[in-house]
Structure 1
Amino acid sequence: MTRDYAATEPAREEVDALDGPTLLEFGASWCGHCIAAQPLLERTLGLHPQVRHIKIEDGRGRPLGRSYRVKLWPTLVFLRDGEEVARLVRPTDSGAIAEALGQIDPQT
């Protein structure tokens, strides 16, 4: 699990070209909802070590978040081979995260 938000985001074209399962997490280090979601993410991502976790600091004018129409934090976008398969906004339980991870990483 990635612990820190990346200040520099990848280009949308790079994300679209990723192979395999990827979780994009949009948020901010000071966001209360984002902080509350971290233990849930840690618990569920630990069961999916092959899932790439990209944690992106989002905000006004950030092109990657806008390209995914992110409006609230955290927004979790679950990708398989660069294609969106599932999305969770402000998750409050690990079951929903586990279910979405299962959609992109069915080998567990």
Structure 2
Amino acid sequence: MATLALTAENFDEVTNKDGIVLVDFWASWCGPCIRFAPTYERSSEKHQEITFGKVDTEAEQAIAAKFDIRSIPTIMAIRDGVIVFSQPGALPESALENLIEQVEKLDMDDVRKQLAAHSH
């Protein structure tokens, strides 16, 4: 599966479903973003079961503002509608693979309990 362009119209629909969604916040003028793109693309081909989305922060400024994206590229991992990871910086391929493994291993019931505990 190739990467999916995420926009204000489809962002919530794509990121709120069950499963893992990775989001790459990028811009065409950002050198590290452009260099990271082939790594992200290769990973999307390797992991068919994961949705790989890209947010063009120039075109989708409202999404970037909603998540307080200050530095790009930023990689965000969402599982079952919950943001479980967000970090600026282009990841080397091994780190991206490691991130995917970690997100796949998460106990989402435990994650939800922790979130509930923090929100009280």
Indicate the TM-score class for this superposition, using the shorter chain for normalisation. 0.7 to 0.9
RMSD: 2.5
Cα distance in structure 1, aligned partners of 2:89 and 2:60? 21
* 1:60–1:69 CA distance, 2 compared to 1 (3 A): farther
- Report the counterpart of residue 73 of structure 1 in structure 2: 72
Give the TM-score of the pair, scaled to structure 1.
0.77
Larger relative helix fraction: 2
- Residue identity in the other structure for 2:3: T
The Cα shift of 1:66 comes to 1.5
> RCO higher in 1 or 2 (8 Å CA, sep ≥ 6)?
1
Unpaired segments of 5 or more residues in structure 2?
Answer: 106-120
CA displacement, residues 27-69 of structure 1 (integer Å, 9 cap, x when unaligned):
1123211111012212333321111111111139822111211
Greater CA radius of gyration, 1 or 2?
Answer: 2
Give the structure 1 partner of residue 18 of structure 2. Answer: 19
Counterpart secondary structure, 1:86: strand
Q: Which moved more, 1:41-50 or 1:24-33?
A: 41-50
Which residue matches 1:105? 104
Runs of 4+ displaced beyond 6 Å: none
Which deviates the most, 77-86 or 45-54? 45-54
Q: How many residue pairs were aligned?
A: 104
**Percent same amino acid at aligned positions?**
27
Q: TM-score, normalised by structure 2?
A: 0.70
Within-5 A mapping of 1:1-108: 1-2=2-3, 5-6=5-6, 8-10=7-9, 13-14=12-13, 17-59=16-58, 62-106=61-105
